[in-house]
Structure 1
Amino acid sequence: MRDEDTPTLTTAADFPVLWPVQTRWEDNDHYGHVNNVTYYSYFDTAVNAWLIATTGTDVRELPAIGVVAETSCTYISELTFPQQLQVGLSVEKLGTRSIVYALAIFRENNDALELAAQGRFVHVYVDAKTRKPVPVPHEIRSAANLLVVADFE
């Protein structure tokens, strides 16, 4: 968890990468807004799509895979269908066997990006067969280095 001295990323400019995600019809719940669990899907989709695009590798085929060990989300404002989103990606900590992502979801509104949620996502790398912890694969580590934010170091 972040302590009070750790900066919180709150604007799109705070993130090295913004990954586009479109809300879907099925994302809305009975109350007419995107269901809270769907925000986690946006985080997961953005992180893994960016890793695949950046490494040029299907991360599902690596001998080590990133499994989610922890997630959190703070909801700022509701989302609904149809909206185009941008997910801010950054790395808070790049460990030997894990990566801690700091994330945010921004709603596109004309020429502005409005913060809708902030989150945290921890990938722990395990052997794809044995599920025992292993070091972060080289391809993933190289890509994740591009997302390291100096304020978190």
Structure 2
Amino acid sequence: MATVKHKILILSGKGGVGKSTFSAQLSFALASLDFQVGLLDIDICGPSIPKMLGLEGQDIHQSNLGWSPIYVESNLGVMSVGFMLPNPDEAVIWRGPRKNGLIKQFLKDVHWGELDFLVVDAPPGTSDEHISIVQFLQATGIDGAIIVTTPQQVRVAN
């Protein structure tokens, strides 16, 4: 993470509000401005970035430096939990410590190289995983977070 200049966490209080779509669009927008960008999908319960970007079934390569992201543009690399799951469409039923371990591993073990921006697509909701993500990113210098929601009044109350 030392080679990543800016880290942006994308969150939502619930699923289905467009968090992953926003994460992907933000990543492409930054890349179109000639920034070096990484998009990290750590939504264990529903990693949708591979499907959105047509990357399903891609093989991840690992070297002594870590996992290598898949490049969709010369300056936009993507890494997703979905690349590692045997069937990304099935629900992941893991206890908190195992989920947190995988998330921390993804945050630490992906070899991005030099990045201007890392966009982190977090799982929806509010849980221990979010605390782990925020604590790790705070220790490495997070720049901020964006919360994606919908405009209905009941969404504000929840």
Bin the TM-score by the shorter chain: under 0.3
Which has a greater percent of helix? 2
Which has a greater percent of strand? 1
TM-score by length of 1: 0.22
Of the two, which has the highest radius of gyration?
A: 1
TM-score by length of 2: 0.22
Q: Which has the higher contact order (CA 8 A, sep 6+)?
A: 2
